[in-house]
Structure 1
Amino acid sequence: MSQDGSRSFPKGILGFPVTPFKESGEVDQNALEQNIDFLVKEDVSALFIGCGSGEFQSLGEKEYRQLIEAAVHGSKNKVPVYTGVGGNIKEAVKQAEVSEELGADGYLMLPPYLIQGEQEGLYHYFETVISSTELNAVVYQRNNAVLDVDTVERLTAFPQLIGMKDGLGNMELNVEITQTLGSRLEWMNGMPFAEVTMPAYYKLGFETYSSAISNYIPHISRIFFEALKKEQHDKVQQLYQDVILPINHIRKKRKGYAVSLIKAGMEIMGMPVGQAVRPPLVPVEKEHYTELENVLKTAMEKYPLKNKQEG
């Protein structure tokens, strides 16, 4: 089980720190710690370290440990820490064991490497990882790891499994799974730029989501989510027009911007992360960087930081 003995998972906005790199290619420890500290102070519900936005696919074993240690230390026991595990099955099990060793509360199971598996194969992949530790586990629906209702239901036999994060966007499947399993799992919206789709997910019982913009404008994430929960439709619509859709429009211009645009936003907002990303990702082009600057300038004028108190 998790380090505090709990199988519960906090609802709300989840923080996914990036992995800052120096020009030399090494992890920038100082920038990493600042990113983690910022998210903790901004009251995210949990930290997910070394996942998609943290460039999981590009991390070496020592770097992976470095990130987890920084997150566990930086969380100061105020928020739970989850890691990313995935790839080939041996590596995924090792990463889960390392996460437990270093004091994480749980992990998000990223898709296995390359293979398009049958449901039986996917079940055994996930049950092998889940049963390797007592940590809380979250399955991730996306790419080549899409579980049907029966497979998810079989996996719920493991008490370690506490949630499902959806990055697929198949709403018919989401209805089937949530209506079948109800409150057994925590339902998390993990779509790229989850604020875009959150109104649809929220009505299905998805009360938790990963927010890319929480890395640099978390107060706007809070304003948006509070307005959504209170059914303040005019405010939600205005946030779409002013901030969410303009950023999403930039994000879709290049593959990989789901990660590199976060770093650009953080740099624009004065955080020392730089723009370096590891191949095959590419940094944000100058033209798109300027577009993001303009969007954020407007966002901060219309929604100044004092609005943090609204949450």
Structure 2
Amino acid sequence: MNRDSVDWSGYLPAVTTPFTEDGELDLAAWREQLDWLLAERMDGIIVAGTTGEWFSLSEPERAELFRTAADQAAGRVPVLGGATAYTPGEAIRHATAARAAGLSGVLLTPPPYLVPSRREIVAFYRTVSAAVDIPICVYNWPRGTGVDLDVALLTELAGIDTVVAVKNSTPDFGSFVRGLIALGERVRYFGIPTNDTGIALLTKLGGDGLMGAGGVLGADHPGFFRAVAAGDLDTARQLGARDRVLMDAWFGADYGARFGNAPAILKYALRRRGVPGGHVRPPLLPLTADEQKRVADTLDSLGL
């Protein structure tokens, strides 16, 4: 497999998992949220990522989310399943569930918390790849894993049979650009910012889009990449500026939340928009009244 084995591009949000206030999985809300995202013309959907609170999902719940998303999308857009786990055995079971559900691929970080060595990271991905024949997007997220995959290591991982994409959420922008240059012709490369820098990268160096969080702005998110592709850079700048307002207000340079926690921020924002993003599940806590006001003020500033 390689980048041409999949058609992933544009804006693919890592979406929230709707829980009730009592912490139960809400599949009716999940279907409604998916329908809204599809109506807003997302270029794909990522299920059970960090935004989707994979860490508090049971294996049966994650598999149910995969099956429901595949059924709701009905082949209209690629659906990727989050397969992140602490052991290769767990990741293999999640990848197997994604394949059984008919998903387009899986998103997979190195094992979090453990801070594995380079040799252990390569072995982890090789083991999962050998066990399940499904396209893999390597997810570099130093904030959550404790390791930052440099260009040399990403290049080695890109040589694994089923690795077709990289989501590079490194705070080191120089490393991000070097990775794009080194890997762009071999794998799909995500993490392009929605600003003039992103426009320059897309038009001069390449890149495939952004695997963002939540899809709160709806059609504005994929609209940025469609406008760049169409050469309508004024529209792209307008849409990208709206996204940057949200990102700068809610998230820091390492993609961590400036207040509360990211799933709670995104879920509250979706609920403010009338979309069933749901509630967070412990150990995460809902936003305080002051934090809710910060989210509301940002949405108000964007006319939402």
Equivalent position of 1:133 in the other structure = 132
Give yes or no for contact 1:96–1:107 (8 Å, CA) kept in 2: yes
Equivalent position of 2:167 in the other structure = 165
> Matched residues in 1 for 2:300 and 2:72: separation?
29
How far off is 1:60 after superposition? 0.6
TM-score scaled by length of structure 2: 0.84
1:249 partner letter: A
How far off is 1:69 after superposition? 0.9
What does residue range 176-215 of structure 1 map to in structure 2 within 5 Å?
A: 176-189=178-191, 195=194, 198=198, 202=202, 204-212=205-213, 214=215
Equivalent position of 1:254 in the other structure = 259
Give the secondary structure class of the aligned counterpart of 1:147: coil
How far off is 1:173 after superposition? 2.1
1:80 partner letter: P
Give yes or no for contact 2:46–2:82 (8 Å, CA) kept in 1: yes
Equivalent position of 2:287 in the other structure = 284
> Matched residues in 2 for 1:198 and 1:239: separation?
9
Give the secondary structure class of the aligned counterpart of 1:173: helix
Is the alpha carbon distance of 1:156 and 1:294 closer, same or farther for their aligned partners in structure 2, counting shifts above 3 Å? closer
Consecutive unaligned residues in structure 2, runs of 5 or more? 252-256
Give the secondary structure class of the aligned counterpart of 1:266: helix
TM-score scaled by length of structure 1: 0.83
Equivalent position of 2:270 in the other structure = 266
**Across the two proteins, how many residue pairs are aligned to each other?**
291
2:258 partner letter: K
- C-alpha RMSD of the superposition: 2.8
> Matched residues in 2 for 1:51 and 1:200: separation?
28
What does residue range 75-224 of structure 1 map to in structure 2 within 5 Å?
A: 75-87=73-85, 88-143=87-142, 144-189=146-191, 195=194, 198=198, 202=202, 204-212=205-213, 214=215, 216-224=216-224
How far off is 1:98 after superposition? 1.5
Is the alpha carbon distance of 1:96 and 1:29 closer, same or farther for their aligned partners in structure 2, counting shifts above 3 Å? same
> Matched residues in 1 for 2:259 and 2:294: separation?
14
> Matched residues in 1 for 2:119 and 2:291: separation?
43
> Matched residues in 1 for 2:164 and 2:6: separation?
7
Give yes or no for contact 2:10–2:222 (8 Å, CA) kept in 1: no
Equivalent position of 2:237 in the other structure = 236
Higher RCO by CA contacts (8 Å cutoff, separation 6 or greater): 2
How far off is 1:15 after superposition? 2.5
> What percent identity do the matched residue pairs reach?
24
